[in-house]
C-alpha cells in the first residue's frame, strides 16, 4: 500500500505541473495575473512533490520539470499582463480615448476582467468600437503621411 502512495506523488506532480502550464497559457488570456498566480502555485506544488518523489523512489523527474516550466510560464503571464495593463494607460490620451484610458489597466486581469469592468459601468460596445476605430485611424494616418513624404 505504501509503494502506491510513493508512486502517486510522481504522477500527481506531473499532473499538477501540466495543469499549471495549461492554466498559465490558456487561462492567462482570460484571467491574466490571476491565472499566472495559480500557475505559479501549481508549479511550486508540482516541484515540491517531484523532489519528494525523487527522494523516495527515484522517480519525479517529470514533476520537477513540469513544475519548473509551470513556474516560468506563470511568472511570464503575470509580468506580461501587468505590463499590458500599465502600458495601455501610459500610451493613450485620456481626452481622445476616455473608455480605454479608464478601463485599459483592467487588462491585467485578462479579457474577462476588462469585460467585467466595462459591463459593470454599462459601456456600450458601439462606444468602445468607436474608440478603437479612432486609434486605428490615427495610427493609419501617421503611416500614410510617412509614406507620402517619401
* Mean residue pLDDT across the chain: 82
The upper half-sphere exposure of residue 2, i.e. CA atoms within 13 Å in the direction of its Cβ, equals: 2
Confirm whether 149 is domain-assigned.
no
Measured distance CA(118)–CA(18) in Å, rounded: 33
Measured between alpha carbons, how far is residue 35 from residues 2, 40, 81, 143 in Å? 34, 9, 10, 37
In a domain, 150, yes or no: no
**107 with 117: CB under 8 angstroms?**
no
pLDDT at residue 33 greater than cutoff 80: yes
27 DSSP 8-state letter: I
> What pLDDT, on the 0 to 100 scale, is given for residue 147?
46
Whether residue 4 has pLDDT greater than 70? no
pLDDT tens digit sequence for 80-106: 988 888 888 788 777 778 888 888 888
What torsion do the CA atoms of 90, 92, 94, 97 make, to the nearest 10 degrees? -150
Containing structural domain, residue 136: 2-140
pLDDT band at 7 (very low <50, low <70, confident <90, very high): low
Residue-level pLDDT at 3 = 52
- 145 part of a folded domain: no
Amino acid at each position: 500500500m505504501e509503494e502506491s502512495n510513493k508512486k502517486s506523488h510522481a504522477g500527481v506532480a506531473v499532473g499538477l505541473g501540466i495543469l499549471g502550464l495549461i492554466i498559465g497559457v490558456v487561462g492567462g488570456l482570460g484571467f491574466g495575473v490571476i491565472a499566472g498566480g495559480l500557475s505559479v502555485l501549481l508549479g511550486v506544488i508540482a516541484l515540491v512533490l517531484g523532489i519528494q518523489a525523487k527522494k523516495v523512489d527515484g522517480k519525479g523527474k517529470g514533476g520537477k520539470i513540469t513544475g519548473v516550466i509551470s513556474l516560468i510560464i506563470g511568472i511570464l503571464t503575470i509580468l506580461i499582463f501587468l505590463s499590458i495593463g500599465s502600458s495601455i494607460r501610459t500610451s493613450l490620451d485620456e481626452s481622445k480615448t476616455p473608455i480605454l484610458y479608464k478601463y485599459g489597466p483592467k487588462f491585467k486581469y485578462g479579457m474577462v476582467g476588462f469585460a467585467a469592468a466595462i459591463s459593470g459601468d454599462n459601456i456600450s460596445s458601439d462606444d468602445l468600437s468607436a474608440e478603437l476605430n479612432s486609434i486605428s485611424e490615427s495610427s493609419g494616418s501617421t503611416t500614410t503621411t510617412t509614406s507620402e513624404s517619401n
